[in-house]
Structure 1
Amino acid sequence: MSYSKVFYTATGSADSFPIPYEYISTADLRVTVNGILKTIGTDYTFPTPSFLKFAVAPVGLVQIQRVTERGKRLVDFQDATILTEADLDTATKQALFIAQESMDTADGAVLVPQQEASITIPSMTQRANTLLGFDGTGQPVAYAQGTLSGFAVSSFALPLLTATSSASACGAIGALPAAVEGWSYSTDGVARLFFSTNDATVLRGAGAYPVVFRNATNTVIGYWTTDGRLTLGAEAGTDGQAPTYGQVKSYVSTVAAPGIFVDAAWTTPPPGLRVFRCNGQAPSLTTYPSLLYIYCGDAKNATASWGYRCDDPANPNTTRNTNGGYIVLPKTSGRFRRDLTDNTGIGNGQTLWMYGTDDVKAHTHTESVTTVGGGSQGTGPNNSLPILTSGTTGSYGGTETTPYFYVCTTWITY
């Protein structure tokens, strides 16, 4: 249990958060969002003592921590003055709150058994540019890079710990730079990269990371050229030069840009494939900003069947908003896909982001009648006029008009 801090995972849908503990002054509260300190009055206010309200609904980890004044007494009692309840409460609260905050700090600290209280961490000068480890007696020791003699580590971690640069560390253990989340190999030896979404990050980092594609037998099957092009096959004598993250993103976008429809024979997408099922759902644009590529535009937001923005994913049609935080995906179940007309006379009047209704093309049926009997018109019981009767044709067919088809699931990339 924490006495002086509380954490919330904010999704952007709420701007107010409760404060579950007492405090003396609002100035004692330290508020951060994703580790970034916020400013009282500018970023947040206190509509009531027990609630904090942000100017803009936050997204991410919200921390509200109490840090009570501990450098001076808040109440200085004087002789021959009136002793008030408020002053007594303030004085005792200051002592109590400081003690609680110290307990919270201790609860999050690394502790050693009381009988080992003689353990001493190396000084700041000794720790600078070193690795903190423990010797054979369990005492903390500062190890300089490359001098891990007697320091038992795994063969996998040793190259990382002894590397003199991040580039050599990545190369030593086969790791990827920070902007790449990982890669894997399929059974046919095809390498797949999974990238992070930080546009500011570059794959080369502070140095030149070689980026190559290898098959299951560690043979180079592709590399990035110096101008950022992906080339298949091994380049003689070198693994190639890493492109920037922007160059990688540009290449990947040509392969899997947002808004591409994917017909598939599975009901659950494979890991790493960035797709949504086309079932009319409305994902968050905060979480999936690339879906803005399928936005129908402000002019069509009020009438589009899909691709429009809304405020409530549970009620998208009634909460349409050109600034909405969600975007509605198409619902393809039971519908045939049709390419946008090029005004050739087929499908004229149809527009992007619309649903079409079922219909049968206008047509006619030809019928013929015969005369019955003989004689001239109006003479005899049987004349030569046609005998016309009314009626309906027989029913034929199923419950809908369709061509031949196959059934699959449809997805859209993001």
Structure 2
Amino acid sequence: MLIERADVIVTSPGRNFVTLKITTDDGVVGYGDGTLNGRELAVASYLTDHVVPLLVGRDAHAIEDTWQYLYRGAYWRRGPVTMAAIAAVDTALWDIKAKVAGLPLYQLLGGASRERCLVYGHASGKDIPELFDSVRAHLEEGFRAIRIQTGVPGLDSVYGVASSAAASIGDDTRYDYEPARRSALPAEESWDTRAYLRHVPSVFEAVRGEFGEDVALLHDAHHRLTPIQAAKLGKSLEPYDLFWLEDVTPAENQEALRWVRHHTTTPLAIGEVFNSVWDYQHLIREQLIDYVRSPITHAGGISSVRRIMDYAAMYQVKSGMHGPTDVSPIGLAAAVHLGMALHNFGIQEYMVHSERTREVFGPTHEFAGGGLRPSEEPGLGIHFDEALAAEHPYERAYLPVNRLQDGTVHDW
């Protein structure tokens, strides 16, 4: 079974997505997600101009060989653009293989290791009362694990906080947080680390006091802290029993995690900006983290993330794959299928895509009992509507730039 054609589709049903459609010579179609928020066209070009010409005529079943051909053959390895493009190809080929086999994809990855994949949702608010409303809404929806983000007194805009009180789960006004804004230049936000470090412990004290000990709570520092600041935050949050503290410091400085680990027992999740097993080599081997955050979409596909997680399993490190709405429903479906099969699955991030996005991609996975389960139909369980996708053309969008209050560019 040979690859007859490959098409790159860029669509923006509320936000931008890059989709690769691979068609075989006997008409089987597979889909892969190559979305890279704020740099979508770089991946689209990489696929269209450099990868698609290499795919036509290749054996669609030779997934591992194709992965190695694209990774090693280019000479220039790793990086988010390259690995997102390879991920799109890899995921689409797994989708094809499962459809030919007549099985849901997780069955080809070893079968189910659990009934469903535990997920966490995003609760946020500009202040404590608004945050409480968001937490209650998530609990009513059935979430058992919730990420907590809130505004910081004195700061106008803070990462992870919905832009309005109406942005909550429910109908199409639900919280579909899109930090990449449609503008000629990136928006600029301001940051005050001391104000943040003073405020966050009081937020978790209030949430635990209101909602008790049973709900699993998570928090994302979004790379904004130095190692000593990260250690201080982790220690100050220990009384509130977090499921994890995410991206406490820029992860490229892997020595920093040794310092943080030494000072706090709060579990650490790292890696949504990592895109290969090499990025995790020291962090996993030295057990400096507890959860791997790389999504299938940005880390080379199902084949690549499976290798990362097999390595992580040797050190009791679990998965916690990045899964906001800038990973398309294709990428989310792939994560859920892999999560069903992984023995060392931990949790899956889950932000509900907008109604328009769901209409374009037609996902069939099911949320119930605090978790996601893929459908039993062959492949990924995606029904992509190309005609509808064409009605939503690409719109240039940039992620914000963050500055300290003195004007210094800071991590966003």
TM-score, scaled relative to structure 2: 0.19
Q: Which has the higher contact order (CA 8 A, sep 6+)?
A: 2
Q: Which has the higher helix share?
A: 2
Bigger radius of gyration: 1
